[in-house]
Structure 1
Protein backbone atom coordinates (compact mmCIF):
# COMPACT_ATOMS: atom_id res chain seq x y z
CA UNK A 1 0.00 0.00 0.00
CA UNK A 2 1.27 3.43 -0.84
CA UNK A 3 2.02 5.21 2.41
CA UNK A 4 0.01 8.31 3.25
CA UNK A 5 1.00 8.83 6.89
CA UNK A 6 3.03 11.94 7.66
CA UNK A 7 6.00 11.08 9.84
CA UNK A 8 7.76 13.83 11.76
CA UNK A 9 10.96 15.12 10.19
CA UNK A 10 12.99 17.53 12.25
CA UNK A 11 15.50 19.35 10.10
CA UNK A 12 18.24 21.56 11.50
CA UNK A 13 21.87 22.60 11.28
CA UNK A 14 24.68 20.40 12.51
CA UNK A 15 22.78 17.10 12.07
CA UNK A 16 24.54 13.97 10.89
CA UNK A 17 23.54 12.02 7.83
CA UNK A 18 21.21 9.05 7.92
CA UNK A 19 23.97 6.61 8.89
CA UNK A 20 24.76 3.31 7.17
CA UNK A 21 21.27 1.92 7.15
CA UNK A 22 21.51 0.64 3.59
CA UNK A 23 24.59 -1.45 4.42
CA UNK A 24 23.30 -3.29 7.50
CA UNK A 25 20.12 -5.05 8.60
CA UNK A 26 17.75 -2.64 10.25
CA UNK A 27 14.95 -4.86 11.47
CA UNK A 28 11.36 -4.80 10.38
CA UNK A 29 8.01 -3.43 11.39
CA UNK A 30 5.67 -6.34 12.12
CA UNK A 31 1.97 -5.56 12.05
CA UNK A 32 1.48 -7.40 15.33
CA UNK A 33 3.36 -9.46 17.90
CA UNK A 34 2.07 -12.40 19.90
CA UNK A 35 -0.44 -11.09 22.37
CA UNK A 36 0.49 -11.39 26.03
CA UNK A 37 -0.47 -10.03 29.41
CA UNK A 38 1.11 -6.66 28.72
CA UNK A 39 -0.25 -3.22 29.52
CA UNK A 40 -3.98 -2.92 29.05
CA UNK A 41 -4.88 -0.35 26.37
CA UNK A 42 -6.91 1.49 29.01
CA UNK A 43 -4.10 1.49 31.55
CA UNK A 44 -2.52 4.62 32.92
CA UNK A 45 0.88 5.52 31.53
CA UNK A 46 3.61 8.05 32.29
CA UNK A 47 3.96 11.00 29.97
CA UNK A 48 7.14 12.99 29.40
CA UNK A 49 7.32 13.87 25.70
CA UNK A 50 9.75 16.69 24.96
CA UNK A 51 7.78 19.75 23.70
CA UNK A 52 10.43 20.24 21.01
CA UNK A 53 9.42 16.91 19.47
CA UNK A 54 6.08 18.47 18.52
CA UNK A 55 7.59 21.03 16.16
CA UNK A 56 7.94 19.61 12.65
CA UNK A 57 10.17 21.59 10.30
CA UNK A 58 9.16 19.34 7.43
CA UNK A 59 6.88 16.38 6.82
CA UNK A 60 7.41 13.22 4.83
CA UNK A 61 4.74 10.63 4.07
CA UNK A 62 5.07 6.90 4.59
CA UNK A 63 3.15 3.96 6.03
CA UNK A 64 4.19 2.45 9.37
CA UNK A 65 6.56 0.01 7.73
CA UNK A 66 10.30 0.47 7.47
CA UNK A 67 10.25 -0.48 3.80
CA UNK A 68 7.45 1.98 3.01
CA UNK A 69 8.90 4.99 4.79
CA UNK A 70 10.13 7.72 2.48
CA UNK A 71 13.79 8.69 2.30
CA UNK A 72 13.21 11.95 4.19
CA UNK A 73 11.50 10.13 7.04
CA UNK A 74 14.23 7.50 7.16
CA UNK A 75 16.89 10.18 7.29
CA UNK A 76 15.07 11.75 10.23
CA UNK A 77 14.75 8.65 12.41
CA UNK A 78 18.25 7.41 11.51
CA UNK A 79 19.94 10.76 12.18
CA UNK A 80 22.54 10.26 14.95
CA UNK A 81 22.30 13.91 16.02
CA UNK A 82 19.88 15.66 18.41
CA UNK A 83 17.19 16.11 15.76
CA UNK A 84 17.23 12.37 15.17
CA UNK A 85 16.67 11.83 18.89
CA UNK A 86 13.61 14.10 18.73
CA UNK A 87 12.28 12.31 15.66
CA UNK A 88 12.64 8.92 17.34
CA UNK A 89 11.02 10.22 20.52
CA UNK A 90 8.08 11.56 18.52
CA UNK A 91 7.71 8.25 16.67
CA UNK A 92 7.92 6.21 19.88
CA UNK A 93 5.16 8.22 21.54
CA UNK A 94 3.05 8.15 18.37
CA UNK A 95 3.33 4.37 18.22
CA UNK A 96 2.40 4.10 21.91
CA UNK A 97 -0.65 6.27 21.27
CA UNK A 98 -1.78 4.50 18.10
CA UNK A 99 -1.07 0.81 18.61
CA UNK A 100 -2.06 -1.54 21.41
CA UNK A 101 0.15 -3.78 23.53
CA UNK A 102 0.06 -6.64 20.99
CA UNK A 103 1.60 -4.45 18.27
CA UNK A 104 5.00 -2.87 17.76
CA UNK A 105 7.28 -1.10 15.29
CA UNK A 106 11.02 -1.85 15.16
CA UNK A 107 14.08 -0.58 13.32
CA UNK A 108 17.78 0.08 13.92
CA UNK A 109 20.20 2.98 13.54
CA UNK A 110 23.88 3.87 14.01
CA UNK A 111 25.05 6.62 16.34
CA UNK A 112 27.90 9.03 15.59
CA UNK A 113 30.41 6.51 16.94
CA UNK A 114 29.17 3.78 14.64
CA UNK A 115 27.39 1.85 17.39
CA UNK A 116 24.24 0.08 16.26
CA UNK A 117 21.00 0.59 18.23
CA UNK A 118 17.86 -1.53 18.07
CA UNK A 119 14.58 0.31 18.58
CA UNK A 120 11.36 -1.51 19.42
CA UNK A 121 8.33 0.71 20.06
CA UNK A 122 5.37 -1.15 21.54
CA UNK A 123 1.83 0.18 21.50
CA UNK A 124 -0.08 1.16 24.64
CA UNK A 125 -3.37 3.00 24.13
CA UNK A 126 -4.66 1.56 20.85
CA UNK A 127 -6.18 4.75 19.44
CA UNK A 128 -5.37 3.88 15.82
CA UNK A 129 -4.49 0.18 15.69
CA UNK A 130 -4.92 -0.02 11.91
CA UNK A 131 -1.76 2.07 11.49
CA UNK A 132 0.17 -1.20 11.73
CA UNK A 133 -0.99 -2.05 8.22
CA UNK A 134 -2.66 0.98 6.67
CA UNK A 135 -2.33 4.76 6.50
CA UNK A 136 -3.85 6.89 9.23
CA UNK A 137 -7.10 8.55 8.22
CA UNK A 138 -7.98 12.07 9.29
CA UNK A 139 -9.82 10.96 12.43
CA UNK A 140 -6.94 8.72 13.47
CA UNK A 141 -4.45 11.52 12.83
CA UNK A 142 -6.44 13.70 15.22
CA UNK A 143 -6.51 11.00 17.90
CA UNK A 144 -2.76 10.45 17.73
CA UNK A 145 -2.12 14.20 17.66
CA UNK A 146 -4.31 14.79 20.72
CA UNK A 147 -2.56 11.95 22.50
CA UNK A 148 0.87 13.41 21.73
CA UNK A 149 -0.22 16.80 23.04
CA UNK A 150 -1.69 15.27 26.20
CA UNK A 151 1.51 13.31 26.84
CA UNK A 152 3.81 16.31 26.46
CA UNK A 153 5.50 17.57 29.62
CA UNK A 154 7.19 20.97 29.87
CA UNK A 155 9.79 19.57 32.28
CA UNK A 156 10.15 16.20 30.51
CA UNK A 157 9.30 14.31 33.69
CA UNK A 158 6.88 11.36 33.82
CA UNK A 159 3.49 12.09 35.38
CA UNK A 160 0.70 9.53 35.57
CA UNK A 161 -2.43 10.66 33.73
CA UNK A 162 -5.95 9.49 33.11
CA UNK A 163 -6.50 10.26 29.43
CA UNK A 164 -10.15 10.02 28.39
CA UNK A 165 -12.11 10.57 25.22
CA UNK A 166 -15.09 9.57 23.07
CA UNK A 167 -13.56 6.38 21.69
CA UNK A 168 -13.51 2.85 23.05
CA UNK A 169 -9.75 2.75 23.67
CA UNK A 170 -9.87 5.53 26.29
CA UNK A 171 -13.47 5.50 27.45
CA UNK A 172 -12.94 4.99 31.18
CA UNK A 173 -16.58 4.60 32.13
CA UNK A 174 -16.99 2.27 35.14
CA UNK A 175 -13.24 2.00 35.75
CA UNK A 176 -11.27 2.73 38.96
CA UNK A 177 -9.61 5.69 37.24
CA UNK A 178 -12.80 7.69 37.63
CA UNK A 179 -12.44 7.47 41.40
CA UNK A 180 -8.66 7.89 41.74
CA UNK A 181 -8.04 10.54 39.06
CA UNK A 182 -10.65 13.16 39.84
CA UNK A 183 -9.06 16.55 39.10
CA UNK A 184 -9.47 17.75 35.53
CA UNK A 185 -6.36 19.34 34.07
CA UNK A 186 -7.79 20.27 30.68
CA UNK A 187 -8.23 18.96 27.17
CA UNK A 188 -5.98 18.63 24.10
CA UNK A 189 -6.86 18.40 20.40
CA UNK A 190 -5.66 19.24 16.89
CA UNK A 191 -3.81 17.60 14.01
CA UNK A 192 -0.05 17.82 13.79
CA UNK A 193 -0.11 15.75 10.58
CA UNK A 194 -2.37 18.01 8.53
CA UNK A 195 -1.37 20.52 5.88
CA UNK A 196 -1.42 23.20 8.59
CA UNK A 197 -0.15 21.40 11.71
CA UNK A 198 -1.77 22.71 14.90
CA UNK A 199 -2.33 21.56 18.48
CA UNK A 200 -4.55 23.19 21.09
CA UNK A 201 -5.20 22.98 24.80
CA UNK A 202 -7.78 24.34 27.20
CA UNK A 203 -7.43 24.43 30.98
CA UNK A 204 -9.51 24.43 34.15
CA UNK A 205 -8.61 27.68 35.95
CA UNK A 206 -9.51 26.50 39.45
CA UNK A 207 -7.18 23.50 39.03
CA UNK A 208 -4.22 25.31 37.44
CA UNK A 209 -2.19 25.65 40.64
CA UNK A 210 -2.59 21.96 41.44
CA UNK A 211 -1.68 21.01 37.86
CA UNK A 212 1.49 23.11 38.03
CA UNK A 213 2.34 21.57 41.40
CA UNK A 214 2.07 18.17 39.72
CA UNK A 215 4.51 19.42 37.03
CA UNK A 216 1.81 19.55 34.38
CA UNK A 217 2.09 22.99 32.75
CA UNK A 218 1.06 22.57 29.11
CA UNK A 219 -2.66 23.18 29.77
CA UNK A 220 -2.36 25.25 32.94
CA UNK A 221 0.44 27.33 31.40
CA UNK A 222 4.08 27.48 32.48
CA UNK A 223 4.78 30.70 34.33
CA UNK A 224 8.18 32.25 33.68
CA UNK A 225 9.68 32.85 37.15
CA UNK A 226 11.37 36.06 36.02
CA UNK A 227 8.71 37.78 33.93
CA UNK A 228 5.55 36.07 35.15
CA UNK A 229 4.52 35.53 31.52
CA UNK A 230 3.00 32.26 30.30
CA UNK A 231 5.54 30.29 28.26
CA UNK A 232 4.52 28.10 25.29
CA UNK A 233 4.73 24.32 25.52
CA UNK A 234 6.16 23.41 22.14
CA UNK A 235 3.57 23.69 19.38
CA UNK A 236 0.60 23.53 21.74
CA UNK A 237 -1.55 26.67 21.64
CA UNK A 238 -3.21 27.33 25.00
CA UNK A 239 -6.59 28.87 24.23
CA UNK A 240 -8.39 29.41 27.52
CA UNK A 241 -10.91 27.77 29.82
CA UNK A 242 -12.39 24.44 28.77
CA UNK A 243 -15.80 25.86 29.72
CA UNK A 244 -15.38 28.22 26.76
CA UNK A 245 -13.62 25.99 24.24
CA UNK A 246 -15.27 22.59 24.79
CA UNK A 247 -18.72 21.12 25.16
CA UNK A 248 -19.48 20.24 28.79
CA UNK A 249 -18.45 16.97 30.36
CA UNK A 250 -21.37 14.58 30.67
CA UNK A 251 -20.78 12.16 33.58
CA UNK A 252 -22.66 9.32 31.93
CA UNK A 253 -20.42 9.33 28.85
CA UNK A 254 -17.19 8.42 30.63
CA UNK A 255 -16.18 11.81 32.09
CA UNK A 256 -14.66 13.64 29.12
CA UNK A 257 -15.37 16.55 26.81
CA UNK A 258 -17.09 15.08 23.71
CA UNK A 259 -15.87 17.90 21.46
CA UNK A 260 -13.77 21.05 21.52
CA UNK A 261 -13.40 23.99 19.14
CA UNK A 262 -10.89 26.73 18.46
CA UNK A 263 -13.45 29.50 17.90
CA UNK A 264 -16.48 29.53 20.21
CA UNK A 265 -18.19 31.99 17.85
CA UNK A 266 -17.81 29.54 14.96
CA UNK A 267 -18.18 26.19 16.64
CA UNK A 268 -19.41 24.19 13.65
CA UNK A 269 -16.45 25.13 11.45
CA UNK A 270 -13.76 24.69 14.11
CA UNK A 271 -15.09 21.71 16.10
CA UNK A 272 -12.87 18.71 16.79
CA UNK A 273 -14.56 15.46 17.80
CA UNK A 274 -11.34 13.77 18.90
CA UNK A 275 -10.22 15.70 21.99
CA UNK A 276 -8.49 14.00 24.90
CA UNK A 277 -9.46 15.14 28.38
CA UNK A 278 -6.79 14.67 31.04
CA UNK A 279 -7.44 14.06 34.73
CA UNK A 280 -4.83 14.05 37.50
CA UNK A 281 -4.88 12.59 40.97
Structure 2
Protein backbone atom coordinates (compact mmCIF):
# COMPACT_ATOMS: atom_id res chain seq x y z
CA UNK A 1 0.00 0.00 0.00
CA UNK A 2 1.14 3.57 -0.56
CA UNK A 3 2.04 5.54 2.53
CA UNK A 4 0.32 8.92 2.79
CA UNK A 5 1.85 11.36 5.23
CA UNK A 6 0.86 10.95 8.88
CA UNK A 7 2.89 13.48 10.83
CA UNK A 8 4.50 13.04 14.22
CA UNK A 9 2.64 16.10 15.53
CA UNK A 10 -0.74 14.62 14.61
CA UNK A 11 0.22 11.44 16.46
CA UNK A 12 1.55 13.06 19.60
CA UNK A 13 0.10 16.57 19.95
CA UNK A 14 -3.50 16.66 18.74
CA UNK A 15 -6.43 17.97 20.76
CA UNK A 16 -8.06 14.53 20.48
CA UNK A 17 -5.34 13.08 22.72
CA UNK A 18 -4.80 16.14 24.91
CA UNK A 19 -6.76 15.12 28.01
CA UNK A 20 -8.44 12.15 29.65
CA UNK A 21 -11.99 13.30 29.01
CA UNK A 22 -11.54 13.75 25.27
CA UNK A 23 -9.77 10.43 24.72
CA UNK A 24 -12.25 8.54 26.91
CA UNK A 25 -15.13 10.03 24.94
CA UNK A 26 -13.50 9.01 21.65
CA UNK A 27 -13.04 5.42 22.88
CA UNK A 28 -16.63 5.15 24.09
CA UNK A 29 -18.24 6.75 21.02
CA UNK A 30 -19.18 4.69 17.94
CA UNK A 31 -16.94 5.58 15.01
CA UNK A 32 -19.84 6.94 12.97
CA UNK A 33 -20.69 10.40 11.67
CA UNK A 34 -23.86 10.75 13.72
CA UNK A 35 -22.34 9.55 16.99
CA UNK A 36 -19.33 11.87 16.76
CA UNK A 37 -21.57 14.81 15.86
CA UNK A 38 -23.52 14.26 19.11
CA UNK A 39 -20.40 14.65 21.26
CA UNK A 40 -19.54 18.34 21.81
CA UNK A 41 -16.18 17.50 23.40
CA UNK A 42 -15.12 15.66 20.22
CA UNK A 43 -16.46 18.30 17.89
CA UNK A 44 -14.52 20.99 19.72
CA UNK A 45 -11.35 18.91 19.52
CA UNK A 46 -11.86 18.37 15.80
CA UNK A 47 -11.48 22.10 15.14
CA UNK A 48 -7.77 21.30 15.47
CA UNK A 49 -6.31 20.21 12.08
CA UNK A 50 -4.00 17.78 13.87
CA UNK A 51 -7.05 16.13 15.46
CA UNK A 52 -8.65 15.69 12.06
CA UNK A 53 -5.44 14.11 10.79
CA UNK A 54 -5.36 11.78 13.81
CA UNK A 55 -9.02 10.81 13.28
CA UNK A 56 -8.41 10.24 9.58
CA UNK A 57 -5.78 7.60 10.34
CA UNK A 58 -7.81 6.05 13.14
CA UNK A 59 -10.74 5.61 10.73
CA UNK A 60 -8.45 4.31 7.98
CA UNK A 61 -6.98 1.69 10.30
CA UNK A 62 -10.22 0.69 12.05
CA UNK A 63 -12.90 0.60 9.37
CA UNK A 64 -13.20 -1.29 6.08
CA UNK A 65 -12.93 0.22 2.64
CA UNK A 66 -16.19 1.86 1.62
CA UNK A 67 -17.01 3.09 5.13
CA UNK A 68 -16.82 6.81 5.78
CA UNK A 69 -16.99 9.12 8.77
CA UNK A 70 -17.75 12.76 8.06
CA UNK A 71 -18.08 15.80 10.30
CA UNK A 72 -19.02 19.42 9.70
CA UNK A 73 -16.69 21.89 11.44
CA UNK A 74 -17.49 25.61 11.27
CA UNK A 75 -19.49 25.10 8.09
CA UNK A 76 -16.90 22.92 6.32
CA UNK A 77 -17.35 19.16 5.91
CA UNK A 78 -14.47 16.74 6.36
CA UNK A 79 -14.60 13.09 5.32
CA UNK A 80 -12.49 10.21 6.65
CA UNK A 81 -12.35 6.94 4.72
CA UNK A 82 -11.96 3.41 6.10
CA UNK A 83 -9.35 1.13 4.59
CA UNK A 84 -7.84 -1.71 6.63
CA UNK A 85 -10.70 -3.05 8.82
CA UNK A 86 -8.66 -3.77 11.93
CA UNK A 87 -11.47 -2.78 14.32
CA UNK A 88 -14.70 -2.71 12.33
CA UNK A 89 -16.92 -3.15 15.43
CA UNK A 90 -15.95 0.35 16.52
CA UNK A 91 -17.96 1.56 13.55
CA UNK A 92 -21.15 -0.25 14.60
CA UNK A 93 -24.09 1.87 15.84
CA UNK A 94 -23.37 0.80 19.43
CA UNK A 95 -19.63 0.33 18.94
CA UNK A 96 -16.72 1.36 21.11
CA UNK A 97 -12.96 0.81 21.05
CA UNK A 98 -12.03 -1.95 23.49
CA UNK A 99 -8.52 -3.12 24.41
CA UNK A 100 -8.16 -5.24 21.27
CA UNK A 101 -9.29 -2.32 19.10
CA UNK A 102 -6.88 0.04 20.84
CA UNK A 103 -3.98 -2.32 20.27
CA UNK A 104 -4.53 -2.90 16.56
CA UNK A 105 -5.48 0.66 15.65
CA UNK A 106 -2.50 1.95 17.62
CA UNK A 107 -0.04 -0.42 15.95
CA UNK A 108 -1.42 0.52 12.54
CA UNK A 109 -1.18 4.25 13.22
CA UNK A 110 2.33 4.01 14.64
CA UNK A 111 3.44 2.03 11.59
CA UNK A 112 2.21 4.78 9.28
CA UNK A 113 3.98 7.78 10.79
CA UNK A 114 6.14 9.48 8.17
CA UNK A 115 8.82 11.88 9.40
CA UNK A 116 10.23 12.55 5.93
CA UNK A 117 6.99 13.60 4.26
CA UNK A 118 7.55 11.35 1.25
CA UNK A 119 5.16 8.78 -0.16
CA UNK A 120 6.64 5.38 0.73
CA UNK A 121 5.14 2.05 -0.43
CA UNK A 122 4.68 -0.32 2.51
CA UNK A 123 3.70 -3.91 3.13
CA UNK A 124 1.88 -4.08 6.49
CA UNK A 125 1.76 -7.57 7.99
CA UNK A 126 0.52 -9.18 11.18
CA UNK A 127 -1.65 -11.94 12.57
CA UNK A 128 -4.92 -10.07 11.98
CA UNK A 129 -6.54 -11.25 8.74
CA UNK A 130 -6.67 -7.65 7.51
CA UNK A 131 -2.87 -7.74 7.34
CA UNK A 132 -2.51 -10.94 5.32
CA UNK A 133 -0.23 -10.88 2.29
CA UNK A 134 0.17 -13.06 -0.78
CA UNK A 135 3.36 -14.36 -2.34
CA UNK A 136 3.51 -11.53 -4.88
CA UNK A 137 3.38 -8.87 -2.16
CA UNK A 138 6.00 -10.63 -0.07
CA UNK A 139 8.27 -10.88 -3.11
CA UNK A 140 7.81 -7.19 -3.95
CA UNK A 141 8.50 -6.07 -0.36
CA UNK A 142 11.40 -8.20 0.91
CA UNK A 143 13.10 -5.78 3.35
CA UNK A 144 11.82 -5.74 6.92
CA UNK A 145 11.90 -2.23 8.38
CA UNK A 146 10.70 -3.09 11.88
CA UNK A 147 7.62 -3.69 14.01
CA UNK A 148 5.28 -1.23 15.74
CA UNK A 149 3.01 -1.62 18.76
CA UNK A 150 1.63 0.22 21.79
CA UNK A 151 -1.40 2.33 22.72
CA UNK A 152 -1.81 5.80 21.21
CA UNK A 153 -5.04 6.26 23.20
CA UNK A 154 -3.30 5.93 26.57
CA UNK A 155 -2.07 8.94 28.55
CA UNK A 156 0.83 9.08 28.20
CA UNK A 157 0.86 7.32 24.86
CA UNK A 158 2.74 4.04 24.53
CA UNK A 159 4.66 4.27 21.25
CA UNK A 160 7.00 1.31 20.70
CA UNK A 161 9.04 0.02 17.80
CA UNK A 162 11.85 -2.42 17.14
CA UNK A 163 14.14 -2.67 14.15
CA UNK A 164 15.57 -5.42 12.02
CA UNK A 165 19.26 -6.00 12.79
CA UNK A 166 21.41 -3.80 10.57
CA UNK A 167 18.46 -1.97 9.00
CA UNK A 168 18.23 1.82 8.95
CA UNK A 169 14.83 1.94 7.22
CA UNK A 170 13.14 3.26 10.39
CA UNK A 171 14.43 6.71 9.40
CA UNK A 172 11.07 6.92 7.58
CA UNK A 173 9.49 7.28 11.02
CA UNK A 174 12.34 8.75 13.05
CA UNK A 175 14.20 10.95 10.60
CA UNK A 176 17.97 11.17 10.74
CA UNK A 177 20.10 8.30 9.51
CA UNK A 178 18.11 5.46 11.02
CA UNK A 179 21.14 4.42 13.08
CA UNK A 180 20.65 7.03 15.80
CA UNK A 181 16.98 7.04 16.86
CA UNK A 182 17.30 9.52 19.74
CA UNK A 183 14.39 11.92 19.67
CA UNK A 184 12.24 9.60 17.54
CA UNK A 185 8.48 9.97 18.02
CA UNK A 186 8.39 6.23 18.82
CA UNK A 187 10.51 4.55 21.46
CA UNK A 188 12.83 2.28 19.49
CA UNK A 189 13.50 -0.46 22.03
CA UNK A 190 16.09 -2.51 20.14
CA UNK A 191 16.25 -5.37 17.66
CA UNK A 192 13.02 -7.20 16.93
CA UNK A 193 14.88 -10.51 17.14
CA UNK A 194 15.52 -9.79 20.82
CA UNK A 195 12.11 -8.32 21.69
CA UNK A 196 9.62 -10.32 19.67
CA UNK A 197 8.37 -13.85 19.17
CA UNK A 198 9.78 -16.03 16.41
CA UNK A 199 8.74 -14.62 13.05
CA UNK A 200 5.70 -16.06 11.29
CA UNK A 201 5.86 -17.50 7.75
CA UNK A 202 5.11 -14.06 6.29
CA UNK A 203 8.03 -12.55 8.23
CA UNK A 204 5.87 -10.69 10.75
CA UNK A 205 5.92 -10.96 14.53
CA UNK A 206 2.97 -12.18 16.59
CA UNK A 207 4.02 -10.45 19.81
CA UNK A 208 6.72 -8.09 21.08
CA UNK A 209 7.80 -6.79 24.48
CA UNK A 210 7.57 -3.22 25.73
CA UNK A 211 7.81 -1.78 29.25
CA UNK A 212 7.77 -5.21 30.85
CA UNK A 213 4.65 -6.42 29.05
CA UNK A 214 4.05 -8.66 26.04
CA UNK A 215 1.91 -6.98 23.38
CA UNK A 216 0.12 -9.15 20.84
CA UNK A 217 -1.20 -6.46 18.47
CA UNK A 218 1.88 -5.89 16.34
CA UNK A 219 2.23 -4.50 12.81
CA UNK A 220 5.42 -5.44 10.98
CA UNK A 221 6.47 -3.25 8.07
CA UNK A 222 8.29 -4.43 4.97
CA UNK A 223 9.75 -2.24 2.25
CA UNK A 224 10.66 -2.65 -1.40
CA contact (8 A) 1:51 1:233 kept: no
CA contact (8 A) 1:47 1:161 kept: no
Structure 1 position 171 matched with structure 2 position 132: yes
Corresponding residue for 1:187?
Answer: 147
TM-score (normalizing by structure 2): 0.86
CA contact (8 A) 2:181 2:188 kept: no
Counterparts of 1:1-281 in structure 2, within 5 Å, are 44-55=1-12, 56-59=17-20, 60=22, 61-62=25-26, 63=29, 64-69=31-36, 70-77=39-46, 79=47, 84-110=48-74, 116-133=75-92, 134-172=95-133, 174-208=134-168, 211=169, 216-218=172-174, 222-223=176-177, 230-234=181-185, 236-251=186-201, 254-262=202-210, 266=212, 270-281=213-224
Aligned-pair CA distance for 1:132: 1.1
TM-score (normalizing by structure 1): 0.69
Please give the per-residue CA displacement for 1:142-197, whole angstroms capped at 9, x wherever unaligned.
1000011000011222211001001100021x341111000000000001113542
Please tell me the root mean square deviation across aligned C-alpha atoms, in Å: 2.1
Please give the per-residue CA displacement for 1:223-273, whole angstroms capped at 9, x wherever unaligned.
49xxx9534333x2111111111112132xx3210110115xx5xxx0011
- Mapped to 2, the partners of 1:89 and 1:151 lie a distance apart of 12
Runs of 5+ unmatched residues, structure 2? none
* Alignment length (residue pairs): 210
User: Kindly tell me: are residues 66 and 101 of structure 1, through their superposed partners in 2, closer, same or farther at Cα, counting changes over 3 Å?
Assistant: closer
- The secondary structure found in structure 1 opposite 2:3 is strand
- Mapped to 1, the partners of 2:140 and 2:162 lie a distance apart of 22
Please give the per-residue CA displacement for 1:30-66, whole angstroms capped at 9, x wherever unaligned.
xxxxxxxxxxxxxx13242100111232241141234
Structure 1 or 2, whichever has the larger Rg, is 1
Segments ≥4 residues shifted beyond 4 Å: none
- The secondary structure found in structure 1 opposite 2:197 is coil
Runs of 5+ unmatched residues, structure 1? 1-43, 111-115
